[in-house]
Structure 1
């Protein structure tokens, strides 16, 4: 069997599908990943066949929004993105028995599967991105939206989101479908998500609340079994003193003053720090022997060895952080990160910062999570997080190819 796993997202979407590709290989089957070029070398080092699509994403974290983009320019960019995806995914899908679209921007995956007459699976990485009467869609802060917990707002927000999907994507999507001889689609979101999506998220950290319109199968989070050891310099740092604090915002935009705030907060707490440079290439040149900067690192090895984890709230990072049993400080920037920040707080595994992370704010948050009851609660929550979601997904894909679709998961709440 051969499976194509497609996404157009950043590491938060690409790493999970690479994890499933690795699990498919363990089962003796072939997997092809079609994703942005940033992650090609890393995936191939794991033995995964990789076909790049679109431009590199790295570096966008350094560029905060500078104002609205002209509608014509934005639409030209969307048209180009759709065309590039159809070309790349179409080539990558040759000989595949099933196609997986990971995340909402994998626009071409369902159409290519339809064209080839093979099964298609849509995978979401957070419950809040799937329509439900029990939550609103995640807000796009760049569009001036704010998140809401008001149930009266849920249905109107989902309808507005449906309209936005159609306005942005329906015309270019249908143009490419016409070239393949496929019928036009009326609703982009329902076409991409289907009525039987998969939810690649942990049911304790990110439970599916239920929906009257979809049968959701929750696999658990797709975590990569990273074989890499920690770098010798980092290993030496960890063993030379008390557990440090980890700071990292991944591919998110980093506030310019964050490096200074990190150093102020950790030193005020009498702690050392491990600082991830991230895509914004965070500068800690003012640091001394109490701070070490790291690049891409094996979080599953590192996180259990630190005293607290401050991060941006991405789906993958939050899952690994929660599974580590280490208390967290979540600094959400956009989209579903606010959802995961709220879930960490709801589980008692940490606190969220919803304001500028100044030195004073970080000091207060650190003092909270390092004291009772957070370490003990975080340990308990860590024991509840499953880590085999990628294996579940790989085995279930075999069933899908055999014509056996999984039963929907019972809502957790």
Structure 2
């Protein structure tokens, strides 16, 4: 049996699929992961022992180009840009996944909506089973949450009926992605679909997040199978000098914002707030290439690092609220201060605050707001609560999903 796992996204999209691929292979199933061909993702999948099939383009330069294109655009222009990008992604990703899918029995697709649309069409053409996956409940139709708001397609003010808003979401996705999806279908000789959202989502959807951090109240709008987060075990040693830095004083505060554009300003503000409390910092460079602001010995910069080991030795974690970092910190019992920016990050920041395991600083941190968030994270009651929640985080999500996919792949396609 061979299963294709597909995503187009950042590290938080790729690492969970490395974990799932490893879990599948432990069951004797060949796993193949289609992901952006960036060197860091190739190394990650090699570490997990999972075969990589490169997606249509590496993501780092592509993402920077898309950000630059949209930065000065009006909401209407951004909507047109989204539609144009979608058409490019669907066509190019369809070609990449068609090659990757050879000999596969099923495909599980995560990541950007157009990439998942391409995966659905590849499954349809190859006669494979298909399933959509997501890492956060906020993306799924539910009476308990509102849909994502797109440029030039704002949610109407004053409307609180989430069912109505999710009906509107169908029209929004048709407007933004319908031409891309149905244009590709026409090129393949397939009939158009009237509801591109439900076509791409399918039913059920695999929800790969921890039920304590991201609970899924049952929804009659879609069925979701919640497995828990996919966690890739990490046994890597610390980089040179980090162990000695950790041993040289009290637990430091970790600061890392991944690929988020606010990282540089927020990083400097975080270091100032940490130093004001007489604490030390471990700084993750990330895409913004953060680092110490001077030559004092109270900061240590790291690149790729074993978060599972590091987060168990820090006083708190300041980060952007990505799903992977959030669950890693929660699992380690590390209090969190989150500076959410896009996508599902505000959801994770809100959940961390609701659980009492950290603080939500908001999208535009100031020295005062980040200092207040750090006060919450470093409070003794937050540490106590974080330790209690750590014991509730599931570690078997990849195993649960692997068994589900094996069962799915053995069923006839439809």
TM-score normalized by the length of structure 1: 0.91
Compared CA separation, residues 100 and 367, structure 1 to 2 (3 A): same
Deviations 1:268-322 (A, max 9, x none): 0110001111112224342521001111211111111100011111111111111
Match of 2:52 in 1: 50
Compared CA separation, residues 322 and 218, structure 1 to 2 (3 A): same
What is the distance in 1 between the residues matched to 2:155 and 2:221? 25
Match of 1:122 in 2: 132
Q: Does the residue aligned with 1:332 lie in a helix, a strand or coil?
A: coil
Match of 1:66 in 2: 71
Higher-helix-fraction structure: 2
| Alpha-carbon offset, residue 200 of structure 1 | 0.4
1:3 aligns with 2:13: no
1:109 aligns with 2:119: yes
Is the 1:332–1:354 contact (alpha carbons within 8 Å) kept by the matching residues of 2?
yes
What is the distance in 1 between the residues matched to 2:367 and 2:88? 42
Match of 1:13 in 2: 13
Match of 1:314 in 2: 322
| Alpha-carbon offset, residue 160 of structure 1 | 3.4
What is the distance in 2 between the residues matched to 1:372 and 1:72? 49
What is the distance in 1 between the residues matched to 2:81 and 2:322? 29
1:343 aligns with 2:351: yes
What is the distance in 1 between the residues matched to 2:156 and 2:391? 30
Q: Does the residue aligned with 1:211 lie in a helix, a strand or coil?
A: coil
| Alpha-carbon offset, residue 156 of structure 1 | 4.1
Q: How many residues align?
A: 403
Q: Does the residue aligned with 2:59 lie in a helix, a strand or coil?
A: coil
210-219 or 336-345, larger mean C-alpha shift:
210-219
Compared CA separation, residues 259 and 342, structure 1 to 2 (3 A): closer
Compared CA separation, residues 279 and 255, structure 1 to 2 (3 A): closer
| Alpha-carbon offset, residue 180 of structure 1 | 3.0
Match of 1:40 in 2: 42
Match of 2:202 in 1: 194
Q: 1:325 aligns with which of 333, 349, 373?
A: 333
| Alpha-carbon offset, residue 378 of structure 1 | 0.4
Deviations 1:76-109 (A, max 9, x none): 3322111111000111000001101113422211
| Alpha-carbon offset, residue 256 of structure 1 | 4.2
Give the alignment of 1:67-106 within 5 angstroms: 67-68=72-73, 70=77, 74-105=82-113, 106=116
Q: Does the residue aligned with 1:5 lie in a helix, a strand or coil?
A: strand
What is the distance in 2 between the residues matched to 1:132 and 1:27? 34
Q: 2:168 aligns with which of 151, 160, 177?
A: 160
| Alpha-carbon offset, residue 51 of structure 1 | 1.3
Is the 2:239–2:302 contact (alpha carbons within 8 Å) kept by the matching residues of 1?
no
Q: Does the residue aligned with 1:100 lie in a helix, a strand or coil?
A: strand
Compared CA separation, residues 363 and 73, structure 1 to 2 (3 A): closer
Is the 1:61–1:254 contact (alpha carbons within 8 Å) kept by the matching residues of 2?
no
| Alpha-carbon offset, residue 371 of structure 1 | 1.4
What is the distance in 2 between the residues matched to 1:92 and 1:352? 40
Compared CA separation, residues 287 and 185, structure 1 to 2 (3 A): farther
Question: Structure 2 regions of 5+ residues with no counterpart?
Answer: none
Is the 1:115–1:182 contact (alpha carbons within 8 Å) kept by the matching residues of 2?
no
Question: Structure 1 regions of 5+ residues with no counterpart?
Answer: 406-413
TM-score normalized by the length of structure 2: 0.91
